Amino acid sequence: MPDTPAPRCYALLPCAGVGTRSGAALPKQYVKIAGRPMVAHTLAALERVERLEAIVVVLSPDDAVFETELPDWAGARRWLARCGGAERGQTVANGLAELAARGAHPNDWVLVHDAVRCLLRPAWVDRLIDACVDDGVGGLLALPLADTLKQARDGRVETTLERAGKWIAQTPQMFRLGLLRDALARCDGAVTDESSAVEALGLAPLLVDGDSENLKVTWPSDFALAERVLALRAKENE
C-alpha cells in the first residue's frame, strides 16, 4: 500500500464581500488602514505562517480593485480565484473547489479567515494549527463571552441572556477540505461561518483560545481602532 501523504494546510480568504455595514465607499477589505488596504495586512500575517502550503484569495468575478491595490501579489504560495459567490458560504465552497483543482486533497486542512480581520498575528494561526492538526473534526479561534448579553426588541431590552458557556467565534476556522465541502453543500452555503456548517453535521468543532485584538472590522468606529492597534505595533517594532 502506498503511503498516504501527510495533510497539508491551506489558507482561504473569502474576499468577495461589499461591506455594506462599514459605511465605506468601496468594499471594506480595500479601505486603507495604516497606509495599506486592509486585506494587505491580513495577507502579510498569513504569509508569515510557514506551515501554510498556499493562500487562495477568492474574489468576486467582477472585482476591479484587488490587482490595482496589490499589483505584486502573486507567486508560488499566492493564488487568486475569481469565483466568489453572492454569500460567504458560496464563496468558500467555490474556493474549496479551486483548491481541489490545484491539487489539494480532501484530507488537507483549510484555514478560512475573514479578509477584514486585519490585526491577525501569525502566532494565533500557529496556535490553531497546533490544537487542530490531530483533531478528528477541526476547530476555530474563539473567545469566551465576557460581557452581559441582552436580547432586544424594538430598540429596548427584552431580557438578559445567560452568558455562561457562550463563546464569540473568530477566524481562522480550520477544517479538512472534504469535510467542509460536504458540510457547505448540505446547507446550500447559507451559513455565516464554517463552524456552523460543520455543526449541522452533528459534529463539535474544537474551541481554541483567540485574542481580543482579532477584531473583525465591521462598523465605522472599528477602522479607527484598527488604525491605532497597527500604529502601536509599528512603534513596538521600531
Number of domains in the chain: 1
Does residue 110 form part of some domain?
yes
Distance CA 104, CA 53 (A): 10
User: What pLDDT is stored for residue 17 in this prediction?
Assistant: 77
Question: Is the pLDDT score of 211 beyond 90?
Answer: yes
| Residues 135-180: tens digit of each pLDDT | 999 999 999 999 999 999 999 999 999 999 999 999 999 999 999 9
Does residue 4 form part of some domain?
no
Does residue 80 form part of some domain?
yes
CATH classification at residue 205: 3.90.550.10
| Residues 141-152: tens digit of each pLDDT | 999 999 999 999
Does residue 1 form part of some domain?
no
| Residues 87-135: tens digit of each pLDDT | 999 999 999 999 999 999 999 999 999 999 999 999 999 999 999 999 9
Does residue 38 form part of some domain?
yes
Does residue 211 form part of some domain?
yes
User: What pLDDT is stored for residue 41 in this prediction?
Assistant: 97
Does residue 3 form part of some domain?
no
Does residue 52 form part of some domain?
yes
In angstroms, how far is CA 77 from the centroid of its own chain? 17
Q: What is the mean pLDDT of residues 206-219?
A: 96
- Domain with 105, as residue range(s), is 9-236
CA angle 58, 170, 30 (to 5 degrees): 40
